Amino acid sequence: MPLVAPHELFKKAYEGKYAIGGFNVNNMEILQGILLAAEQERSPVILQISAGARKYAGHDYIVKMVEAATAKTDVPVVLHLDHGADFKICKDVIDGGFTSVMIDGSHHPFEENIAVSKEVVEYAKPRGVWVEAELGMLKGIEEDVVAEEHVFTEPEEAVEFVEKTGANSLAVAIGTSHGAYKFKGSAVLDFDRLEKIQAALPGYPLVLHGASSVPQELVEKANKYGAKIDGTTGIPEDMLRKAATLGVVKINIDTDIRIAVTAAMREVMINDPREFDPRKFFGAARDAVKELVAHKMRNVLGSSGKI
């Protein structure tokens, strides 16, 4: 099936009160694991490529790899740019085959965020490409995205922002956080704020970034085999499921995949120190990604069986 833009997928998700996972891809095995899970679960899926992943693998490699992986699947697949820093990178990936982009102007003042987001929308819309923008800031670190404090999304500003930019969807800040070290205590999501944003923008698709749950069993497994991933916290999965009933149609998951890959590869290396076939390491990683993503689709996002 050719790559698709998420227009109809998000409409169905909003009406059905479920979310579609935005899963970050960095190599072949992660890509394969995500798609194997989507096929098993009969779920649409969003493959997210960050600027860091493009730099690591190269734009053409990633696009051709995705095209090869999706050529014979009947699962709807969106190819999405995660955290596009400016108009140029968004234009480059639109011209290069992506079906969805995120322009992240959240670090700019409000009016400047509007201006850069609108510029991307005006380029993407005639080409049938979806545009996600962001209003508010998430505390934490994800590659080059760094914020020291939360800046929560204000419902009134969200309405003005959407009206002035024409963005197709909006990533909102309600208490999620980037990275594995999200909180010193327990997660607290501002569902009152989310409900107000949904009420102010009825029918409009919202997005949650920084939504990995950081499964402690995977952290413990990685640490058992030599990792030092200490003091991690994530978003409880029941909170994410609730968000999907309140207008959130896309939930981003990256850190959980990284930890699953790390734990799986370390286990093989430690248990069989004589092994030097990379396929044994990366094959275990692929299986771990498939298991994790299938669980998210089935039990967190609610997107299983939606195609």
Alpha-carbon distance 179 to 212, whole Å? 8
CA angle 92, 170, 232 (to 5 degrees): 95
**Kind and range of the H or E run holding 21:** strand 20-24
82 is catalytic: yes
Of residues 85, 49, 76, 16, the one with CA closest to residue 252: 49
Alpha-carbon distance 252 to 169, whole Å? 14
Three-state DSSP class for residue 107: coil
From 60, 82, 104, 256, active-site residue = 82
Of residues 294, 183, 191, the one with CA closest to residue 239: 191
Point out the residues that are catalytic. Answer: 82
